[in-house]
Amino acid sequence: MPAVPDPSSPVEAQACWVVSPGHAEIRGETLSPLGEGEVRVRTLHTGVSRGTECLVFRGEVPASEAQRMRAPFQAGEFPGPVKYGYVNVGVVEAGPPELLGREVFCLYPHQTVFQVPASAVLPLPPGVPAARAVLAANLETAINALWDAAPRPGQRFAVVGGGTLGLLVAWLAARLPGSEVQVVDTNPARAGIAAALGAGFALPDVARAGADLVIHTSAQPAGLATALRLAAFEATVLELSWYGNRAVSVPLGEAFHSQRLTLKSSQVGHVATAQRGRWSHRQRLELALSLLTDPVLDQLITDHAPFDELPRVLARLAGSAAPDTLCQRIDYNPPSH
């Protein structure tokens, strides 16, 4: 039988740190002996958030938002050195007997092995492979967005921005009875993926106007302008993009007032108002994990790389050289024990 790791012994780990804007590196650290009520998790996969993590990598987190932007298990401070991330899937190698050997999701940064309270990990549901579970955080954001938007069956949706988050929003919206969903993006390569998820596709110049609900995820001012243009009379435009410290010009002239549009923000840090009295953050994340049984979602994981390449991957994603990348998965060596 394989040896069971000794929880009373310290363990060597490696983690990715943004040491200064535009520069990341792998650093070693020693974990202390496992504490009461904790689990030790050996990482299998992490995921890179193209939006938030690239802002962190570029040093674009506003000072006013530094505390609100902290990840649950972040180490260090913005702009750096900082250990940041919140998409980690691994296997429990020490801790309570009911969790030993279980594959779990945790809101933890990119690190080879880590220790957290047992309450901070969520076992993967049956039928959800570890390699697909890296979509959980983005799907949780998409769920919260639709809770904020309060969509109805039979509505026409426009999702402006065909990245991972936008496509997950489209996938959820397309499951509403009688709904019509159009993904709007400047990259025509998104059309096939949108179709697989049950949605239509259009380039911005030819997108269909008159949407009952428009959800914007492109993080580009031009995308927000498109979202406002596509909205029907008295429709809502839900803004999911986060721009960091960038100033954004919003065209609130033109038809914004005559169409009586509503521009509303949505952010995953708080459970949507209408659900907050009955749903916790953990329950919302459990829901997201439970929905990841559909193999069609594997099409959203377009890139993967080994952990030791993560600093170079972050630099590539934060630049302009990765237009076709959706979800970027980072793969770790499997446990050797």
In tens, the pLDDT along 48-78 reads 988 889 999 999 999 998 998 899 999 999 9
Residue 275: inside a domain: no
Task: For residues 90 and 196, state if they share a domain.
Answer: no
Task: For residues 79 and 186, state if they share a domain.
Answer: no
Residue 5: inside a domain: no
| CA separation, residue 191 to residues 62, 259, 312 (Å) | 34, 29, 29
Computed over every residue of the chain, the mean pLDDT equals: 93
Task: For residues 181 and 260, state if they share a domain.
Answer: yes
pLDDT at 337: 41
pLDDT at 130 over 90: yes
Residue 271: inside a domain: no
Counting residues of the chain whose pLDDT is more than 90, the rounded percentage is: 84
Question: Among candidates 305, 285, 282, which has minimal Cα distance to 133?
Answer: 285
Separation between Cα atoms, residue 158 and residue 128, nearest integer Å: 29
Task: For residues 67 and 158, state if they share a domain.
Answer: no
The total number of structural domains in the chain stands at 2
pLDDT band at 117 (very low <50, low <70, confident <90, very high): very high
Average pLDDT over residues 131-145: 97
- In this structure, is the dihedral angle defined by the CA atoms of residues 294, 300, 303 and 307, taken in order, positive or negative? negative
Average pLDDT over residues 260-272: 91
pLDDT band at 293 (very low <50, low <70, confident <90, very high): very high
Return the CATH number at 84: 3.90.180.10
264 SS3 class: strand
Task: For residues 241 and 163, state if they share a domain.
Answer: yes
pLDDT at 4: 56
92-111 per-position pLDDT tens digit: 999 999 999 999 999 999 99
Domain residues for the domain of 257 are 151-266
Task: For residues 256 and 155, state if they share a domain.
Answer: yes
Task: For residues 116 and 169, state if they share a domain.
Answer: no
Residue 204: inside a domain: yes
pLDDT at 334: 62
Residue 174: inside a domain: yes
Instruction: Tokens for 118, please give them.
Output: 């047992």
Return the CATH number at 243: 3.40.50.720
